[in-house]
Amino acid sequence: MALLPQEIIRRKRDGGTLEAGEVESFIQGLTSGAVSEGQAAAFAMAIFFRGLTVPERVALTRAMMNSGEVLMWDLPGPVLDKHSTGGVGDTVSLALGPAVAACGGYVPMISGRGLGHTGGTLDKFDSIPGYVTQPDIDTFRRVTREVGCAIIGQTADLAPADKRLYAIRDVTATVESVDLITASILSKKLSAGLQGLVMDVKFGSGAFMDNVKDARALAESLVLVANGAGLPTSALLTDMNQPLASAAGNAVEVAYAVDYLTGRHREKRFHEVTVELSAEMLVLGGIAAGIDEARTKIENAISSGKAAEVFQRMVSALGGPADFVEKHDRHLQAAPVIRPIPAERAGIVQSIATRDLGVAVVALGGGRTRPQDAIDHAVGLSGLAEIGDTVDANRPLAIVHARSEEAAEAAARVVRAAYTLGDAKAEPRALILERIGAMP
């Protein structure tokens, strides 16, 4: 006899420990539709407040993984992936996947849509005309095999329970739960049949975990559960106290990634994180013997243009324009209002309320407040000033891409308030705090 969803919710609400069978029963109901949206929201909230033990996390992860198909691969190289816990201007996946593929790895990356104030990789690819972000499994397999990299969203076949719970978390203030983040991320990654995974766990004003302690706890949870499930995994703790790229939005971030891959524009901070995460993947996959060799391979893949070639082949193979890399400015939708956001005074950027910048993009239409909301791919922010930059009449805080003057002005007010200016030189922060590997 199936367990009643409300009894499972009640037990967790009251601080009980769920048996693996109870977790599996609830997730089966979530997949079949027997569990309502309200019950799923209550389940998520009970977990948010009461937490899960490690066995419960493993049970939830496995149940969501087994809610759909689990892929198996027969490829001449290692099957690798990276996942970020999200931030503002985190465009790394668009460059990293092709770079690792150019070095001999295979990257079947299953990405998600935006959560809260952070942008989603899938939403970014949806801004490319014709690009099919949710192909069938056979197409996913073919593109991964032939190109080396395929960045897609969850299909109906892969971890469908997570897909439903993911959308509910976005609008019920349960995004930050370490337990739910762990199960959500790893259920997708395990269903993709990976042989190595690198986690980019972010902390700071633009991350879901605003302090290092919480970020480290999440990284350790992910590494512990993943390695316990047989997936070699490591994590890097990276700073998100300012946007990683100088663009935040969808089309504007795709344009940024193409400019990065082709060498038109490469920013130091974005490049550092991209190289370090990519190199970690090569080491996990045995493509490089050590981190220094791996960095060299990735640097060469990017500087030679090979990564850009892989990106173009992936876009074409998944239905996008054959000349997208060369002429992306013609293919990406542009907002009708594009104008600079000047600072109210000249000064040096001391700090940034980065989450507020992400919220500004959502308010412009570049994110969601409800799961069913449509995304406006053209809107966003570009040219975002970094900590330590001098802003004045010649250097604005950012450039806003909006649908109307009213929307642009509303975003400008938020952006100005997010930046703290001063006259002192701002000291640079360490971008990568530490690496967390498999624990004994």
**Catalytic residue positions?**
81-84, 121, 169, 184, 188-189
Cβ atoms 400, 412 nearer than 8 A: yes
Alpha carbon 207 to its chain's center? 11
* Rounded-to-integer distance, Cα 108 and Cα 91, Å: 17
* Rounded-to-integer distance, Cα 98 and Cα 103, Å: 9
* Rounded-to-integer distance, Cα 96 and Cα 385, Å: 23
Helix (H) or strand (E) holding 36: none
In this structure, the strands spanning 248-249 and 347-352 are unpaired
> Could you give the residue ranges of the DSSP H alpha helices within 115-211?
121-125, 137-147, 160-170, 178-191
Residue 162 dihedral angles phi and psi, to the nearest 5°? -65, -40
Cβ atoms 425, 232 nearer than 8 A: no
Q: Is 149 helix (H, G, I), strand (E, B) or coil?
A: strand
Nearest to 64 by CA among 200, 159, 172, 173: 159
Most distant CA pair in the chain, distance: 70
Paired with 392 in beta bridges are 395
Cβ atoms 68, 32 nearer than 8 A: no
Structure tokens, 96: 């990293």
Q: How many helices (H) and strands (E) in the chain?
A: 17, 13
CA dihedral 198, 382, 175, 370 (to 10 degrees): -130
